[in-house]
Amino acid sequence: MKNRVPPLSPTLVKKILNRYDLHLAKGFGQHFLIDDNIRRRIIEAARLQPQDHVLEVGAGIGTLTVALADKCRQVTAIELDSKLLPALKDTISPFNNIKVLATDAVKLSLADLGIGATLPNKLVSNLPYNIAAPIIIKYLENFSFLNTFTVMVQSEIAERILAAPGRKKYGAYTVKLEFLAASRLVLKLSRDIFLPPPRVDSAVVQFKRRDVKFDSQARQLFKLIESAFSQRRKQLVNSVNSGLNIEKAKIAAALTTLDISADIRAESLSLDDFIDLYQLLYRL
């Protein structure tokens, strides 16, 4: 009988790629996981429960997919590269709880997931590097049914996610994510656990959604954050004034009320500072 979740190894991945004569496409960010221990640690970090429905973006040849399906009720696996689909379908064939969506994860909509279908509650993915950052924020903003994200991303993205105020990588992306979810570093990963090895290191990062709504006020707050960081070198008063057309005197007065220096730059403000500033500027 076929082992439903064969141990992950370079040999296994090479065997599948050879069998299907697959040549990995750089444009799709195809760096396949080849380390059994890391796969186990990612799944442990995701704390899968028998009733969970997991969404996986970029299922590749299905070697992470089967390990997920073994631990939960259902997996919805998205894979855009149609050349990989025969291998993916073969790998997952021992399972009847995996649904493959051959679609672009960036454009994923509720309708793609199936109207009336039960929706996934966890995202676990080795994300394609070129679209990892937009996927994380888009899914946090739009798919409120996804409660936790356990994702492999390149180190540079992990640094942007986890940066503290004042650090070089701290930016609008960091603050917006912080509003939507609590994040933590799970694991740092070396390049040689992927085939082919990428040119940069990676990390596993986990998000736990906060109890906030991405409504019109949150969108307005995000516009304020984006405009504040749009010209990092400029003082916040100037960048917000030119970005949102709010009078400089009004911004300066709000900063004074918050006991924040008038010449502050966006990189020094925390999420809470931005929320306070937003409330004063929009008189909430």
* Closer by beta carbon to ligand SAM, 112 or else 276: 112
Alpha-carbon dihedral 57, 63, 66, 71, rounded to 10 degrees: -80
Q: How far is CA 82 from CA 18, 101, 169, 212, 231, in A?
A: 17, 10, 35, 37, 41
Cβ neighbours of residue 172 closer than 8 Å, sequence gap 6 or more: 222, 225, 226, 228, 229, 230, 266
Among 105, 124, 172, 177, binds ligand SAM (CB under 6 A): 105
Site residues for ligand SAM, 22-61, by CB under 6 A, read 28-33, 57-60
Site residues for ligand SAM, 125-164, by CB under 6 A, read 126, 128, 131
Distance in Å, CB of 154 to ligand SAM, minimum: 10
Q: Does 78 bind ligand SAM (CB under 6 A)?
A: yes
* Closer by beta carbon to ligand SAM, 87 or else 225: 87
Distance in Å, CB of 238 to ligand SAM, minimum: 37
Distance in Å, CB of 215 to ligand SAM, minimum: 27
Coil vs helix vs strand at 48: coil
* Closer by beta carbon to ligand SAM, 28 or else 207: 28
- CA–centroid distance for 84 within its chain: 22
Distance in Å, CB of 219 to ligand SAM, minimum: 24
* Closer by beta carbon to ligand SAM, 30 or else 148: 30
Nearest to 123 by CA among 145, 156, 103: 145
* Residue 88, token pair as written in the block: 């993916």
Site size with ligand SAM, rule: CB under 6 A: 23
Strand extents, DSSP E, 51-191 = 53-57, 74-78, 98-101, 122-126, 148-154, 181-189
* Closer by beta carbon to ligand SAM, 155 or else 268: 155
d(CA 15, CA 211): 45
* Closer by beta carbon to ligand SAM, 151 or else 266: 151
d(CA 220, CA 275): 11
* Closer by beta carbon to ligand SAM, 80 or else 98: 80
Task: Specify the residue for token string 């979810």.
Answer: 181
Among 64, 237, 251, 277, binds ligand SAM (CB under 6 A): 64
Q: Which positions lie near ligand SAM, rule CB under 6 A?
A: 28-33, 57-60, 63-64, 78-81, 84, 104-106, 126, 128, 131
